[in-house]
Homo-oligomer: A and B are copies of this chain.
Amino acid sequence: MLELAVLGLLHEAPMHGYELRKRLQEIRAFSCGTVYPTLRRMSRAGLIEETQEEQEAQRSRRARRVYRLTEPGRDRFVELVEDCGPRACQDEAFDVRLAFFARTPPTIRMRILESRRRRVEQRREGQRAILARADEQCDRYTAQLHRLGLDHSELEVRWLDELIAHERAEQGAERPAGVGGLDRGLDRDTTNGT
């Protein structure tokens, strides 16, 4: 997942590790014990290039490593972004996937949202079942825990319903009408191929 996030962020512009970490935190708080080893691994795998930021002018601050997306990295991003297997809607992956929805094909978006919905609904049913027989087998605190979990699940299902409805409206508006490309606010100008 970090891989996808890094690829996606470097898509915008080359960055050094610290900047990457800060941008990453807008998506999810990855630990730096995760970020740097991943950058190394991706660098070895050829998905990104690292170049020493050489600016003699400044006697610069410890010559930061600047990471830049490579062609294989771009391909890998497309590959990851088009994956809609079961992992794509798991808790740890879903938020990162959503963060790059603007660069995800609409059909994939729908599939991910619906998979996620099924998953959360299933969890919700499990929590309901547990709560239903909570009196017999749970202590008060455990029951409260599941109540919170259930509320979370219900909240997320409603949220997903909104997103799905929005997607449908958009796709419905585009398909029959032909190419619109308008809908500003969805993403700002992601069509620039760099």
* Residues of A that sit less than 8 Å from B by CB: 26-27, 95, 98-99, 101-102, 130, 137-145, 147-148, 151-152, 155-156, 159, 163, 185-190, 193
| CB-CB under 8 A for A144 and B130, given A26-B138, A138-B26 | no
21 interchain pairs, CB-CB under 8 A? A26-B137, A27-B145, A95-B145, A98-B141, A98-B142, A101-B139, A102-B139, A102-B140, A102-B141, A139-B186, A139-B187, A139-B190, A140-B185, A140-B187, A143-B190, A147-B193, A148-B155, A151-B155, A152-B152, A152-B155, A152-B156
| CB-CB under 8 A for A144 and B98, given A155-B151, A155-B152, A159-B151 | yes
Question: Of B140, B148, B188, which is within 8 A of A159 by CB?
Answer: B148
A163 — nearest CB in chain B belongs to which residue? Answer: B144
- Chain B residue numbers with a CB within 8 Å of A152 are 152, 155-156
- Chain B residue numbers with a CB within 8 Å of A156 are 148, 152
Are A141's CB and B185's CB within 8 A? no
Please name 8 further chain A to chain B contacts, defined as beta carbons within 8 Å, in addition to the given A101-B141, A139-B188, A140-B190, sorted by A numbering. Answer: A95-B145, A98-B141, A99-B141, A102-B139, A147-B159, A147-B193, A148-B155, A152-B155
Closest CB-CB distance, A173 to chain B, in whole Å? Answer: 15
Closest CB-CB distance, A15 to chain B, in whole Å? Answer: 15
Question: Of B27, B142, B144, B151, which is within 8 A of A26 by CB?
Answer: B142
Are B27's CB and A140's CB within 8 A? no
- Chain B residue numbers with a CB within 8 Å of A189 are 140
Closest CB-CB distance, A8 to chain B, in whole Å? Answer: 11
Are B130's CB and A26's CB within 8 A? yes
A142 — nearest CB in chain B belongs to which residue? Answer: B99
- Chain B residue numbers with a CB within 8 Å of A137 are 26
- Chain B residue numbers with a CB within 8 Å of A98 are 141-142, 144-145
